[in-house]
Amino acid sequence: MVLIDEKKFLDIYRKMDYTRKFENQVMSAVDKGEIKCPVYLSIGQEAISSTLSVFYKPDLIFTQHRGHSVYLAYGGDIGKLIDELLGKDSGCNRGRGGSPGIQDLGIGMIGHHGLIGENVPIAVGAALGDPSKKVLCVFGDGAAEEDYVFTAMGFAVTHKLPVFFVCEDNNLSILTKKSERRSWELTDATKAIGMPSANIPDDPFVIAEYVKEFRNNLPAFLNCRTCRHRWHTGTGEDGKPEKDRLEIFREELIKNGLEHKIYRTEQLNGVEVEKLWKEHLQKQ
Amino acid sequence: MERTLAETIKEITKKHLEENNGLIMGQCLTAVGWVNHTVPDCENIIELPMIDVAGSGIVAGAALVGRRPIFVIRFQDFINLNSSFIVDYAAKTKYLFGYGTPIFIRALSTEGKGAGPTHSAISHSYFMHVPGIKVCSPMTPGEYQEIWDEFMKDDCPMYVSEHRHSFNQTKELEDIILPNADITLYGISASRFNMIEAAKELEKKNIKCNLSHILWLKPLSLDRMIKPLKESKLGLVIDSDFEIAGASQSIAYELMKQTGYRVEALGAEDRPTGTYERYENGTPKVEKIVEKTKNLLKKK
Ligand SMILES: Cc1ncc(C[n+]2csc(CCOP(=O)(O)OP(=O)(O)O)c2C)c(N)n1
Ligand SMILES: [Mg+2]
């Protein structure tokens, strides 16, 4: 394979690796008791927001509880995220929101209050209220089932609102599999009402193609099938994950001759993440 | 060995599902601890998708055709989304159409450990405001059996305000009436546990408290509650739900109206809850109950 957009894909990898390293620090802080509140880790799911952020630049971002990867990929203030997880007044929500409520208005990212899928109608309303703003709305496969989600997407179609809907489909709502909850895919429903939609794996190369196609044709919907590595809340794990997209993507980039650039990126990320965590933990 | 409240709920549920053709419906019932070990592994469990609006409508339909569903709301906060079919349908069919919609709504709550703004609500007061529904808050195995038997007696929906802090409870909580008590403390939900601790603290300071446990919020039966108040001539109703326009204020008012004695209320503060400890709200802490009691006695 010839990599056309080498720089862009390296950037995606940089973000994925950064997020993974960040989340590893979160895990260590949780395990040491430095973080005392529930955390919702993005480990395993980094590819989606990392790729989106390279190809789609929204003015407003609405996520749900599992938002660390979106926050980091879109360049949210990392120090404030660490402080929020540590429960400090200097955190991005002054210690009131914790991991599920993170926001950074500097990148247009609005905090999530904790009710699954409610960010979807809210995102649609924001796009209606200010049509000059492009919106990104990220939710999970559980949220996709909430009554108000499809209805709000339909409203976005009717009013041709510039919202990019993205479902991080990890096949789980807490620990209940999709097959135990429903027999349908949301993309079939959104296609039926005329919204550009696709149900794809969380492979950056595939996501990139669709984002490029959809971003000027909003509203649109991407359901990205991904794999959460850790428990719904906290740092525990149920055995080895089915796949590790970060690892797969890394191998592909290496096959494309990017080995040295990858090593360098990993090294720089490692140093930066560690330094930031150290600084912020010492500030405590 | 004594049965915990969680085991009691599980046994009652199992019997209902296996012997009454009953149903239990809710989200994520059969994963991660099976709702704090209160859900049995047996037939008639329906996993609802993440549908927090239509969900209670589906439950109401099942109730209409006689399945007497137990509807689990894993966090009381989600009741806001789920309440339309409860408030506007289940609670009204008896009045409108002559038949009830008996749903046993298990609304769980929790506090602390970062539960935060939308996973720490205790919302029984809302439902006291609604005609056509019974409201209670059982904290012991015996109380749970009592409310279940009551549910099975007629076709009225019932809002059961549960609190995870009570799930390991094995003992019953008895009222205490002391001669010459200074005050009667009334407790609702998890605040009953703090009320007991507060009474111990107050006793060290020679303040004698009657303790009265409130299980039924609606219909409210005042008879048992009035007797200790007549002795102490001063009362305080403590609740884990919000104080403002809530169960504590409402019951304090009823007690005052019936007896003419001063009764005040103490509940959660009128502000949202934050994630970290310093922003928590909810069940009044022991120290707060102690302080409030002392202040009331100064005015007596
Ligand atoms: C309205 C509402 N219902 C239920 C919940 C409880 N809850 C929190 S996260 C979650 C699972 C969400 O699954 P999904 O949307 O797929 O996100 P994921 O955790 O997999 O990223 C549930 C059911 C909630 N927070 N809000
Ligand atoms: Mg999911």
CB A38 within 8 A of CB A88: no
* Nearest-by-Cβ selection for B276 from A87, A146, A180: A87
Residues in chain A: 284
Peptide bond before residue B219 is cis, with ω within 30 degrees of 0 = yes
B190 alpha carbon to ligand 2 midpoint, in Å?
32
Residue A1 has pLDDT above 80, yes or no: no
pLDDT at site A156: 94
Q: Where do you find CATH 3.40.50.970 in chain B?
A: 5-166
Residue A277's H or E segment, with its range, is: helix A259-282
Question: Chain B within 8 Å of A177 (Cβ-Cβ)?
Answer: no
Q: What is the ipTM of this complex?
A: 0.75
End-to-end alpha carbon distance in chain B = 45
Number of inter-chain CB pairs under 8 A, A vs B: 87
pLDDT at site A284: 64
**Greater model confidence, B84 or A68:** A68
CB A62 within 8 A of CB A123: yes
Q: Which residue, among B32, B30, B31, B56, has the nearest Cα to B42 in the 3D structure?
A: B30
- Looking at CATH, the fold of the domain delimited by A6-277 is given as Rossmann fold (3.40.50)
- Tabulate helix, strand, coil % of chain B (nearest 5): 40, 20, 40
d(CA B177, CA B150): 27
Tell me how close the Cα of B1 comes to any Cα of chain A, in angstroms.
32
A144 alpha carbon to ligand 2 midpoint, in Å?
9
Question: Chain A within 8 Å of B57 (Cβ-Cβ)?
Answer: no
Provide CATH code, domain B5-166.
3.40.50.970
- In tens, the pLDDT along A97-133 reads 899 999 999 999 999 989 899 899 989 998 998 889 9
A12 alpha carbon to ligand 2 midpoint, in Å?
22
pLDDT at site B33: 93
Q: Where are the domains of chain A?
A: 6-277
Packing angle, helices A6-31 and A245-255, rounded to 10: 150
pLDDT at site B300: 77
Question: Chain B within 8 Å of A67 (Cβ-Cβ)?
Answer: no
Chain A residues close to B278, C-beta within 8 Å: 95
Residue position matching structure tokens 């529930």: A38
Class of CATH domain B183-299: alpha beta
Q: In what order do the strands lie in the sheet with B209-214?
A: B209-214, B183-188, B234-242, B262-268
What the block records as the tokens of B166 is 């009570």
Residue A139 has pLDDT above 90, yes or no: yes
Residue-wise over A17-43: b if at least 16 C-beta within 10 A, else e?
bbbbbbbbbbbebbeeebbbbbbbbbb
Question: Chain B within 8 Å of A201 (Cβ-Cβ)?
Answer: no
CB A138 within 8 A of CB A168: yes
Residue B121's H or E segment, with its range, is: none
CB B120 within 8 A of CB B240: no
Rounded (5°) CA angle A262-A264-A265 = 65
Q: Which residue, among B173, B212, B79, B81, has the nearest Cα to B133 in the 3D structure?
A: B79
- In eight-state DSSP terms, residue A109 is E
pLDDT cut 90: percent of chain A above it:
91
- In tens, the pLDDT along A50-62 reads 999 999 999 999 9
Q: Which of B47, B50, B74, B83 to mutate to test the pocket of ligand 1 (most atoms within 8 A of CB)?
A: B50
d(CA A25, CA A27): 5
Tell me how close the Cα of A225 comes to any Cα of chain B, in angstroms.
18
pLDDT at site B170: 98
Question: Chain A within 8 Å of B112 (Cβ-Cβ)?
Answer: no
CA-atom Rg of chain A in angstroms: 18
Of B50, B81, B120, which to mutate for an interface test with A (greatest number of A Cβ within 10 Å)? B50
pLDDT at site B22: 96
Residue B188's H or E segment, with its range, is: strand B183-188
What are the residue ranges in chain B where pLDDT is below 50?
Answer: none
Packing angle, helices A78-85 and A259-282, rounded to 10: 50
pLDDT at site B58: 87
> Ligand 1: residues whose CB is within 6 Å?
A 65-66, 114-116, 139-143, 168, 170, 172-174, 232; B 27-28, 50, 52, 78, 81
Contacts of A67 (CB under 8 A, 6+ apart): A40, A42, A100, A102, A109, A112, A138
- In eight-state DSSP terms, residue B27 is S
CB A233 within 8 A of CB A39: yes
Give the bridge partners for B185, in sequence order.
B211, B236
Q: Where do you find CATH 3.40.50.920 in chain B?
A: 183-299
d(CA B226, CA B263): 11
- In tens, the pLDDT along B211-233 reads 999 999 999 989 999 999 999 99
pLDDT at site B49: 86
Q: Which residue, among B201, B184, B165, B128, has the nearest Cα to B297 in the 3D structure?
A: B184
In terms of C-beta density within 10 A (0-12 exposed, 13-18 middle, 19 or more buried), how is residue B300 classed?
A: exposed
pLDDT at site B47: 92
* Nearest-by-Cβ selection for B114 from A37, A143, A148: A37
CA distances from A154 to A124, A190, A220 (A): 10, 8, 11
Residue type, B87: V
pLDDT at site A2: 56
CB B50 within 8 A of CB A117: yes
- In tens, the pLDDT along B104-126 reads 999 999 998 889 899 999 999 99
